[in-house]
Structure formats: C-alpha cells, structure tokens
Amino acid sequence: MELVRPRCEHLSSYVAALRAGWSADNVRGAAAAQEELARIDADADAFLAALHDPEARGGPVTLPDGSQVARLPGFRCWLWDGEFCGSIGLRWVNGTEELPPHVLGHIGYAVVPWKRGRGYATRALRDLLPQARALGLRWVTLTTDADNLPSRRVILAAGGVLVEGFVKPAQYGSKEGLRYRIDL
C-alpha cells in the first residue's frame, strides 16, 4: 500500500468505493458520498484539483450542520494497493499548530471496510507524518470517537499520546471524543 496524490487514473476505483457505500465523512456518510459523486460527474478534473489545496484557494467548507467556514490549507492522499483503499488528509494553519475550534484535528483518515485490518491506516498515518513535519509543524492532533478502538490503535501505533477526552461540537454529533497528539 502506498499514498498517492489523487489522479484521473485512480478515479474510477474511488467512484466504485463511493457507489459501494463508503465515505470518508463519518458524520454525513451516504449524503457526503452522493455530493462527491455529483461533483465528479460535473467536473472530475476540478474535483481532483480541489483535493490538493495547500494555499487554501478553494471556497468555503460546509460543516456537517450546514454552516460554512473558511478553508484551511490542506491536501488529501488516497491509499492505493492497486485499487482505492481509503483516504487520509492533512490540514493546517500556517505558522502555528493551533487549529480553529471547528477543526477537530490536523489529520483525518478512513479505510474502506473491505480493506480494514491490514494495517493500511497505520502505515498511511506514519507515511503522512514527514509531510506534516516538512510544513514546519512540531506536532499534529488527531481525534476519534471514544468507542472507535481500531482508530485508537492506529493513532497509538503511530506515536500518538492521549491529550484529553471531550464532547465533540454539535455539528459533529456531540459524541464523546478523544484527542491525541503526535510529536514530529
């Protein structure tokens, strides 16, 4: 498994995962998948370009509750083993490790159900950390639902240290969450 920058040659496999019911959005799920499929149908090249936006040139981001906020610099990579396996993204604020309150962590990831249990998320997270360090970040934060044991194991395996338990904001479902930090 390797991290790849999303490109046209990967898109059909990504679309197949969305059509099979997978979504990287663990709050909005199928609705988010349908929105991405519509964006791909409308302009696949623009969709792919928007996944790599280190200058935050894209428009505002719509949160799960429908509110909109300014986009942060960021990019997404796809996990690839000959086909689409999942997604991992990094977002940041230039010059600081601090994030706005609506951003729960620097890194988010999701693996398709039929590829879970292979260590792909752990490897993807470890492979992404040098890119975060290259941006000048001294640490990154990640959050997960308190009951998501597989994600907790991934973060710990990549060097994560539990910082706190908290309740996620309403736009993220008001669920119990855990915040981890990985020093770079």
Q: Which amino acid is at 184?
A: L
Residue 82 zone, left/alpha/beta (φ > 0; ψ -120 to 50; rest) = left
CA distance 121 to 109: 7
Domain boundaries, the chain: 2-183
> Torsion over CA of 100, 102, 103 and 104, rounded to 10 degrees?
120
Digit-by-digit pLDDT tens for the chain (184 residues) are 999 999 999 999 999 999 999 998 877 778 889 999 999 999 999 999 999 999 999 889 877 777 889 999 999 999 999 999 999 999 999 999 999 988 999 999 999 999 999 999 999 999 999 999 999 999 999 999 999 999 999 999 999 999 999 998 877 778 899 999 999 9
Looking at residue 77, its pLDDT comes to: 98
Looking at residue 152, its pLDDT comes to: 97
H-helix segments, 29-177: 29-42, 44-50, 120-134, 149-157
Looking at residue 179, its pLDDT comes to: 97
Per CATH, domain 2-183 is 3.30.750.24: no
